[in-house]
Chains A and B, each alone.
Chain A
């Protein structure tokens, strides 16, 4: 237990593909009993409301399944646009890059194991 899932989104996803990823990932979290999910979006040149909603859904579903989610590598131009679009990605933890994202997941995993705040 305590396995982390790493996902890198490298294509410009159409909506059905985004929904498919959401489903596949939820199944993988349950099947592997992962305690953390890291989604790297550094290759994404745009996050619109649909992809934003997908990220929020994944975070919500993994929480129900006992896993933390962290989204890493969002480009500054994407972040600026998301905020202006009106999407705050509340409930989605973010980190600058994969390394920091992994550190976040490891920390909350450790805290969880030792009964600390998680």
Chain B
């Protein structure tokens, strides 16, 4: 995957930042020409993951850009934090699993709403989650 434009890195430190992430991802999705449904999906996935970064990761950042791979282009967002990490990734991806009193749809939901989803996490060191939504 080759980056198309200069990636933008946004800090996630407060709940207002989650809104800023949604708006920036929406802007790139629009620039790329994603359909309205695909825009909504990637923005919603980004919102869930930005909230996870804030709450579970104790703050962090997201890097958003437009990437190219296998002859197509997509919006990519990489969420990074240096929080406690996810001890059991399989369990964390299950719907209904929550440690924060939410609905437990964040991770699994974000995965379903994305075309590409990678999760790297080391207990005690942090988490990095990458999502991509390709232009159909």
* Chain A neighbourhood of B39, CB < 8 A: 77
* B63: Cβ under 8 A from any A Cβ: no
Range of interface residues on A (Cβ < 8 Å): 20 to 34
Convert A74-93 into 0s and 1s, putting 1 for each residue whose CB lies closer than 8 angstroms to a CB of B: 01111011001111000000
Return chain B residues, CB-CB under 8 Å to A50.
Answer: 47, 51, 102
A-B contact number at CB 8 A: 70
- Tell me which residues from 46 to 98 in chain A have a Cβ below 8 Å from any Cβ of chain B: 46-50, 52-53, 75-78, 80-81, 84-87
A105 to B26, CA, bound (A): 34
Task: Please judge, given known A-B contacts A14-B16, A14-B19, A15-B15, whether A46 and B40 are in contact too, CB under 8 Å.
Answer: yes
A84 touches B41 (CB 8 A): yes
Query: Does B106 make an interface contact (CB < 8 A)?
Result: yes
**Measuring CB to CB, which residues of chain B are less than 8 angstroms from any residue of chain A?**
14-16, 18-19, 22-23, 26, 36-37, 39-41, 43-44, 47-48, 51, 95, 102-103, 105-106, 108-109, 112-113
